[in-house]
Amino acid sequence: MTTGMTAGMNPGIKSLLILASLPLCLSLLACSEEAPLPPPESRPVKTMLIGGLAAGDQRQFPGVVDAIQKAEISFRVRGKLNTLPAKEGENVKQGQVLATLDPRDYQIVLNDRKASYDTAKANYDRAKELLEKNAISRVDHDNIRAKYHTAKANLDAAEQDLSYTTLRAKFDGFVAKRYVENFEEVFPRQAVLLLQDVSELEIKIDIPETIMIMLRKHKDTAKSETREPKRSVYAVFDQIKGQKFPLALKEIATKADVNTRTFQATLKMKNPEGYNVLPGMTATVFAEVFPGETGGEEAIELPLSAVVSSTDKQSTVWLVDEDTMTVSPVPVKLELLTKEAVTVTGLNPGQRVVTAGASFLREGMQVTLLETGEQPE
């Protein structure tokens, strides 16, 4: 029918119809061809480049300051406070009176015990003379002697109780805390004052196993004639700008914390003159690590977001292959966990680790690098 219709048409109209049908035909031909595949999925991620361990590389740990010596002072007897001259923040000397109890009740007991003792001693002295003259039996003599020794013990206890009504400083220091007020009733072993010696300070830090082995080795060799490179271990405080305070190792715990698997190390420092460093303050401890000291496995500090846990509780990080721009998971061992970062082993210098977006990745996925914060080498 179409052929019959076009056969009688004007040649000009016929040409217009042919031209109008060309775009439709071209479109139908394009649709018949296979559509191209979309580009592979590429996820944007933040990364960091792991640097190498050079001589003088440092590890840093959060620490808490404590006094080199401290004690909660308490009375050993009950009574009402009579004097409490010690004030918070006051420096005191060893043997200085810090507080006293009302001694009258204990003085009365002492007087009674003293009278009983005098009587028992006089009876015992007479019994010894009578025994020499065979005017008293050995049994009666022994009973009188026992009463004498009992009276002596009671007198000594009363004298001791009276002495316990005076509280004295056991060492030079300062009163960090006063728990009671004057004229209060206090009980035995109830804390009255907190006394601290801050002539030296302690800083406690939690360290991973690799660093603990290194520090113990350093402590042991320090006692021998073996000469090691001088190690830099120091503390810095946020409130003291531009100052580094040298530290010395005091002791290291040999049992790891059951939750963090870290060991507590205690370092000490002299109380710096001109700065008000007190127990309870926080510090950052920097410890120099020499190549090879951590058993060949370098501890790398990463952001918390870089480490993910799989279903089998294995900690992993994602590494970027910069040739193919794809990612792959690598298992790591957790060494130290803090609120801001995690220290791991199992990585090598030069590897690029995903630090943001790791939980959304799968093996072989292509990624695009966003702005990175490189770890200095």
Every domain of the chain and the residues it spans: 45-54+298-369, 58-67+198-289, 103-164
pTM reported for the whole predicted model: 0.59
Specify the fold of 45-54+298-369.
2.40.420
Specify the fold of 58-67+198-289.
Elongation Factor Tu (Ef-tu); domain 3 (2.40.30)
Architecture of domain 103-164 in CATH? Orthogonal Bundle (1.10)
C-beta of residue 59 within 8 angstroms of C-beta of residue 286: yes
C-beta of residue 273 within 8 angstroms of C-beta of residue 229: no
CA dist., res. 269 & res. 19, Å (int): 95
From first to last of the 377 residues of the chain, give the pLDDT tens digit.
Answer: 444 555 555 555 555 455 455 455 545 444 445 555 444 568 898 888 886 544 446 778 899 999 999 999 999 999 999 999 999 999 999 999 999 999 999 999 999 999 999 999 999 999 999 999 999 999 999 999 999 999 999 999 999 999 999 999 999 999 999 999 999 999 999 999 999 999 999 999 998 876 776 665 555 555 544 445 456 789 999 889 889 999 998 988 888 888 877 889 999 999 998 898 999 999 999 887 654 455 545 667 788 888 887 656 688 899 999 889 999 999 988 776 766 678 788 888 788 999 888 888 889 899 988 865 444 33
pLDDT for 288 equals: 73
DSSP 3-state assignment of 324? coil
SS (H, E, C) 337-354: ECCCEEEEECCCCCCEEE
Instruction: Note whether 45-54+298-369 and 58-67+198-289 share their fold.
Output: no
Count CA atoms closer than 13 A to 191's CA, side-chain side. 11
